Structure 1
Amino acid sequence: MEGIDFSSLNSIKRPELIEFEGISMVHFFTDNWENVQNFQARPDDILIATYPKAGTTWASYILDLLYFGNTAPERQTSVPIYMRVPFIESHFPGIPSGVALAEKLPTKPRLIKTHLPVQLVPKSFWEQNCKVVYVARNAKDNAVSYYHFERMNMGQPEPVDWNNFLQMFMDGKKVFGPWYDHVCGYWEKKQTYSNLHYMFFEDMVEDTGLEVERLCSFLGLSTPIEEREKITKSTHFDVMKGNKMTNYSTVPVMDFKISPFMRKGKVGDWKTHFTVAQNEQFDEHYKQKMKNTTLQFRTVI
């Protein structure tokens, strides 16, 4: 695939938050809705699904290396991750939509990413029994990461201060809806849909090698241990942060002077942002929101 000309994005204006299909959204993810919903998945497609800032790019890169690290090494140095793993619902002015990029993907399997909550995923992925890899991150770290992402990304609504952001996050008024519904929705789906592999960001940080091994097992790949070790090293946060093909530094809607796309990749950074009062309020609210699920997270490792 040829490169993308991003010049049309230089004058992009921050979008307003809208209500769409019952969740908060921005028009960049709804403008191409009919084509997104009608997307024709193939049985060997792999969907990488996450709430924003939960480890999407990390999981995408691991999968890309597992399938194509050896067969197409030139991809690693010349094709940015957002072209190797298209963002299905994205529709920004002047550049190909996520659907168009996905349809043109030359790879088998096609790796495709989404932030859509489970109920809005194009139906063909379920009908074709596609493998789905979901990555979930604890709410506190996810909120902090999303806050810094919103500050630096012109494709997001006008940012507010941390205190207001946290309240909006708790109220579910963030792009792609409430974190609680997102992580629980895919967790529930996993109970009835066996081709869904649910991963935790905290586990990936704690032992990337083990998580790569589990992923191989789910995908039915017999990747040799040396190869897995190489992938684990290549996908280390600091390595990816310095890699222009994975760190999004080539996308002009993101202002790296405010904050890098890949900021810290740590577990527990929330402690430097939450006040004691915010933490108490958040914990109380969290207990209510998560009382009907068996899903559990670690906020420290």
Structure 2
Amino acid sequence: MLVPLYGQEYRSRKKMDSQSEWQRKDWVKVRGVPMICSCSSNWERIDNFQAREEDIIIATYPKSGTTWMSEIVDVILNDGDTEKSKRDAIFNKIPMLEFWVPGVVPPGCQVLDSLPSPRVVKTHLPVSLFPKAFWEKNCKIIYVARNPKDVAVSFYHFDKMNQLHPEPGPWEGYVDKFIQGNMGFGSWGTHVKEFWALKQERNILYMFYEDMLEDPKREIRKVMRFLGKDLSDDVLEKTCLHTSFKAMKENPVTNYTAIDSSIMNQSVSPFMRKGICGDWKNHFTVAQNERFDEYYQKEMSGTDLSFRF
């Protein structure tokens, strides 16, 4: 278990390590894509990551339902045994490939190397930074996309509490940063469109956050079929209850409360905040909404991809 790296052991280590080395640093561009500073060094570890044919990849743009889908997949792989899903924190069960805080948290790819198959891999990497081995091994990829207005709002609150991200500044200017793609992991539009374009030729199940909210049983069935599982209706019901927003927000395995406040300060904003569709209406001004609509129409032109708001 790696929880101590985020907890008591981490708190003792941080006294020896200067927090200024990783806290609130600007994004660092990796091949043109803004990345978390602490994760950006020694990128060869990502390029050379050794995939396995049994690997299951959960790929998303940040704040699009990654943790939700991760727990759903973990329960399905354990045939609905929710007690097994309580064995460890979600970030240990399903490590984030690119995550790394040198001297504090080991590289995600290193943690993944030590896990038995089938491994479940979390990543926010865009197609341009995806390890080639995932394509070569034809790994199963579950991609979750969410409407960009709610993503922007959720990302803003996440940036406020995540000490590994640069200060987000006031909301007034944040929308423009999002439109410009000056965010961790780059442009939302590029991210969702490139995976959408690959879904017919690659082993990709493309899911929508709003569909999952509307009918979780229907969407979980899609994931079950994609993973080759034929589980009973009782298991499906149990999985839905276990992975509801309320249950996951109260579950220490999924709510990230195991991570030290020096990395994620949940007194600023909880990791699991609202989990709804339409919270953007509580944040966007009329002018911001008009500007964002123009951005969205431009991004979606020439594609049959569309989102519900």
TM-score bin (small chain): over 0.9
Aligned partners of 1:157 and 1:183: how far apart in 2? Answer: 23
Q: Which residue of 1 aligns with 2:40?
A: 30
* Contact map agreement 2:80 2:235 (CA 8 A) in 1: no
Once the two structures are superposed, residues 146-174 of structure 1 have per-residue CA deviations (whole angstroms, 9 ceiling, x without a partner) of 00000000011112111111100000000
Structure 1 length normalisation: TM-score? 0.94
Equivalent-residue separation in structure 1 for 2:14 and 2:45 (angstroms)? 22
* Superposition map of 1:18-167 within 5 A: 18-68=28-78, 75-93=84-102, 94-106=104-116, 108-167=117-176
**What is the deviation of 1:70?**
5.1
- Secondary structure in 2 aligned to 1:49? strand
- State whether residues 32 and 89 of structure 1, in contact with CA within 8 Å, keep that contact through their aligned partners in structure 2: no
Deviations 1:69-110 (A, max 9, x none): 556x5543341000000000011132221011111113x311
**2:291 counterpart (268, 281, 284):** 281
1:4 maps to 4
Return the alpha-carbon distance in structure 2 between the equivalents of residues 74 and 200 of structure 1.
27
Other-structure match for 2:253: 245
Answer whether contact 2:89 2:252 (CA < 8 A) is retained: yes
Question: Equivalent residue for 1:13?
Answer: 23
Alignment coverage as a number of residue pairs: 296
1:220 partnered with 2:248: no
Gaps of 5+ in 2: none
**Match of residue 201 from structure 1:** 209
User: Is 1:230 matched up with 2:238?
Assistant: yes
Aligned Cα root-mean-square deviation (Å):
1.5
| CA displacement at 1:3 relative to structure 2 | 3.5
Q: Is the 8 A contact 1:87 1:113 kept in 2?
A: yes
CA distance in structure 1 between the aligned counterparts of 2:223 and 2:162, rounded to whole angstroms: 30
- Secondary structure of the equivalent of 2:274? coil
Name the CA shift for 1:249/1:32 in 2 (closer, same or farther; >3 Å).
Answer: farther
Structure 1: distance between partners of 2:224 and 2:42? 33
How far apart are residue 65 of structure 1 and its match? 0.4
- Tell me whether 1:211 sits opposite 2:219 in the alignment: yes
**Secondary structure at the counterpart of residue 4 of structure 1:** helix
SS in 2 for 1:197: strand
Deviation, 1:15, is 1.5
Residue in 1 that maps onto 2:201: 192
CA distance in 1, matches of 2:134, 2:160: 33
> What is the TM-score of this pair, normalised by structure 2?
0.92
Equivalent position amino acid for 1:209 in 2: K
The CA deviation at 1:121 is: 0.9
Instruction: Return the alpha-carbon distance in structure 2 between the equivalents of residues 68 and 47 of structure 1.
Output: 17
Q: Distance in 1 between matches of 2:3 and 2:114?
A: 13
- Residue 198 of structure 1 aligns to a residue whose secondary structure is strand
Checking the alignment, whether the CA contact within 8 Å between 1:4 and 1:95 is kept in structure 2 is no
Q: Which residue of 2 aligns with 1:175?
A: 184
Q: Which runs of 5+ in 1 are unaligned?
A: none
